[in-house]
Amino acid sequence: MSAFDVHAHRHALKQLRDTGETSLWENRKGIDCPVCAEPFVRLFTTRSPATRVPENDGSRFCLARDEGRIHLFRH
């Protein structure tokens, strides 16, 4: 699995929230999750060492870590 670059996929993602430490994105073009290779619905990204995860509707999710960030892909 390679690192996920939000900016490389910016054309297909809509930013919903950005606090500087965390960001929330909507997948508008059906980009595949780098963990399971299935399209994800939302992406939550954080640089913070401790973060509260937004409320979820019970959907499954995948986690990926790269240099300085953790990405949570909600399906």
In tens digits, what is the pLDDT along the chain, a chain of 75 residues? 567 888 899 999 999 999 999 999 999 999 999 999 999 999 999 999 888 876 777 889 999 998 889 999 999
Query: CA-based angle 53:74:17, to the nearest 5?
Result: 55
Full-model pTM: 0.87
pLDDT for 53: 78
pLDDT for 34: 94
pLDDT for 1: 53
68 Cβ contact partners less than 8 Å away, ≥ 6 residues apart: 47
Hunting for tokens 């508008």 — which residue is that? 28
Do 71 and 45 form a contact (C-beta atoms < 8 A)?
A: yes
